[in-house]
Amino acid sequence: MNTKEKIKTLLIDKPLKLDCGQTIKDFSLAYETYGSLNESKDNGILIFHALTGDQFVTGTNPVTNKDGWWSFAVGPNKAIDTNKYFVMCANVIGGCMGSFGPSHENPKTKKIYGTDFPVITINDMVNAQINLLDFFEIKKLFSVVGGSMGGMQVLQFVSNFPDRTKTAVPIACTSSHSAQNIAFNELGRQAIAADHNWLDGKYTSKNIVPDKGLAVARMAAHITYLSKKGLQEKFGRKLQERDDLKFGFDADFQIESYLRYQGSVFVDRFDANSYLYITRAMDYFDLAKQCNGNLSNAFKKTKAKFFIISFTSDWLYPTQENKDIVIALNAIGANVGFVEIESDKGHDSFLLDVPDFLKTLKNFLDKSYAEI
């Protein structure tokens, strides 16, 4: 089976007006589902993936042959129980796992889009994914769930489609990208742009990839996903397969070797231009600004029950930024719960085996499903 056969795709013929002003139509939306939709169609959960995620949430990713990115949380009897719920996830537009993105061919020019691809936003991503609900004829989801950029999409979804979910679980996220968030994303983008192979985004036509730049982008980002304490405990000053320093610039330290490895495996599965577009979408995200400067306005029309989760060691989207969302919801008397989970694993905690987190998420979903 080649890659294309492993990817389920919807062709969306309904035009979608993007925030940048362009309108797209006949675009593809790649998706995957787990579990089965019940007769009343009220057990649907839409999961939104983060920056480098894709639609292959759990099980084996048929393209990379690795475990799905949220295998700890999603599956039979897991926190998001696929025996109980019908789980859907779509690759975001701008992505590189089958959905309309910069590695696609522009039908007008018959050339790969590259940086001619329109700049997309979190709003655009969510508006594209609503088509999935229509395809499965789901009027109202049981829940929308996502961490990091997935959490931003959860917030945007509820704001755009207040009646289409009963519960919403934004995890380790923010309602607007901070200067520090933008700064780290810009570092990644500049690393890609500085790679000679990038060719202003036209590398595909020359059959090359800006792998060095993309790897550096990933390495820098990866540091932001971990905590200082976590790094220190895992690596400290341990040396990599050597007894002493070599007085050179090889990877003397295990942490160097680890980051280089993270960078090298990333370039095999991710497109550099997609990385530019998706990080841009995150930087542009400012839900309060969309609502005349008042975040509460984003949630005024919804009756959805919110559950917000943050992690103690997450310095990328720290607890306070998650709490700001809680505060905006409480200000309008919305139904919102919040917990901060103790973990040394940094922002990545939501992807990892953090039992308190997984247990709490499961409890919230299963109890809410029994009630409503």
Partner 1 sequence: MKPEFKIISDLISEESRVLDVGCGDGILMEFLIKEKNVDVRGIEISKSKAQNCISKGLTIIEGNAEKDLEQFPDKSFDYVVLSQTLQAFFNPEKVINELLRIGKQAIVTIPNFGYWKIRLHLLLKGTMPVTRTLPDEWYNTPNIHLCTIKDFVFFSKKNRFKLSKSLALRHNRPSLIKDKNLGIKNLSSNLGIFLIER
Smallest gap from Cβ 324 to partner 1, in A, equals 9
Which residues in 239-252 are b (16+ Cβ under 10 Å) and which e? Answer: bbeeeeeeeeeebb
Find, among 91, 32, 25, 26, the residue nearest to 271 by Cα: 91
Q: How far is the C-alpha of 254 from the C-alpha of 259, rounded, in Å?
A: 9
Enumerate the β-bridge partners of residue 48: 146
Q: Please give the C-alpha separations between residue 162 and each of 52, 78, 158, 309, in angstroms, as whole numbers.
A: 27, 27, 5, 20
Q: Is 307 in the site for partner 1 (CB under 8 A)?
A: yes
Q: How far is the C-alpha of 96 from the C-alpha of 117, rounded, in Å?
A: 13
- Whether 314 sits among the annotated catalytic residues: the reply is yes
Q: Is 335 in the site for partner 1 (CB under 8 A)?
A: yes
Smallest gap from Cβ 71 to partner 1, in A, equals 23
Ranges within 287-306 binding partner 1 (CB under 8 A): 305
Smallest gap from Cβ 90 to partner 1, in A, equals 28
Find, among 149, 118, 320, the residue nearest to 221 by Cα: 149
Q: Is 337 in the site for partner 1 (CB under 8 A)?
A: yes
Residue from 28, 148, 159, 343 carrying the catalytic annotation: 148
Residue from 177, 283, 344, 347 carrying the catalytic annotation: 347
- Whether 177 sits among the annotated catalytic residues: the reply is no
CB nearer partner 1, residue 138 or residue 287: 287
Residue from 314, 343, 344, 348 carrying the catalytic annotation: 314
- Whether 222 sits among the annotated catalytic residues: the reply is no
Q: Is 341 in the site for partner 1 (CB under 8 A)?
A: yes
Q: Which residues contact 97 (CB under 8 A, 6 or more apart)?
A: 7, 30, 54, 55, 56, 63, 91
Task: Specify the stretch interacting with partner 1 by CB under 8 A; choose among 60-68, 139-147, 227-235, 339-347.
Answer: 339-347
Binding site for partner 1 (CB under 8 A): 305, 307, 323, 326-327, 330-333, 335-342, 356, 359-360, 363-364, 367-368, 370-371
